[in-house]
Structure 1
Amino acid sequence: MTIVLNHTIAPAHDKAAAAEWFAKIFGLRAEYDDGHFASVRINEALTLLFAEENSFSPNHYAFHVGDAEFDAILARVKAARLAFGSAPWSEADGKLNDWNGGRGVYFRSPDGHLLELMTAAH
């Protein structure tokens, strides 16, 4: 059997607000399944679960997307006036990278998580 990541948990100060923000930026829908987590289904194989935590260290979440999804998400990032950049060390330079022959960008969620989009997998 192929190993597939089914879900991961992202800490948040407000799980519902974090799920709504993520869903809006990524063009998805937030769901509230059991009251413990606020969830966003990324695709048929992966769900991002948001759990409330008082304190946490920000994480890095990277998403391999197609060109159309990249353009749509980046447009929503720009419309939300979020800082974005070409690398983790220059996440606010307003540029994209061209690593591995694709396009990539980094930006932060309201909870401080570093989100990465790439059109060519590493």
Structure 2
Amino acid sequence: MAIEFNHTIVAARDRTESATFFTEMFGLPSAKEFGPFLAVTIAHRASLDYAQAPAGADIVPQHYAFLVSETEFDEIYGRIRQRGLQHWADPHGQHPGEINHHDGGRGVYFRDPSGHNLEIITRPYGSGS
């Protein structure tokens, strides 16, 4: 049996704000209520399940990377720029306002409203070029 990723829980200061931000940035359908979560469906039936963190709780930033097509990259990067969001070519934020070209593709990092690091790439790391 092949192992398939199904879901992960994403802690959020405001689950509605974070889920809406993600669906708008990635051009996805709105999140759906699932128990205490707002579930955003991504590829292969997998989901990001946004959970409301307790008031005043610290959110430990996580890193979520997404492989996207060239067209999807253009669309998402266009939304990043349209909103004037800070973005970087690297995970350490040393190349602000830039994208990278690792493995012959394109990539960029930006943050969601809860401080999680989102990354979009058009080529998997180590795929060549």
Please identify runs of 4+ aligned residues in structure 1 that moved more than 4 A: none
Counterparts in 2 of 1:33-112, with a 5 A limit? 33-53=33-53, 54-90=57-93, 93-112=96-115
Unaligned runs of 5+ in 1: none
Unaligned runs of 5+ in 2: none
Larger radius of gyration: 2
Deviations 1:42-69 (CA, angstroms, capped at 9, x unpaired)? 1233111100113220100000111011
Aligned residues between the structures? 122
Q: Distance in 1 between matches of 2:30 and 2:8?
A: 15
CA contact 2:19–2:50 (8 Å) conserved in 1: yes
How big is the shift at 1:32? 2.5
RMSD: 1.3
Q: Give aligned-pair identity as a percent.
A: 39
Q: Distance in 1 between matches of 2:3 and 2:45?
A: 11
Q: Distance in 2 between matches of 1:52 and 1:27?
A: 22
TM superposition score normalised by structure 1: 0.93
Secondary structure, counterpart of 2:93 in structure 1: coil
TM superposition score normalised by structure 2: 0.88
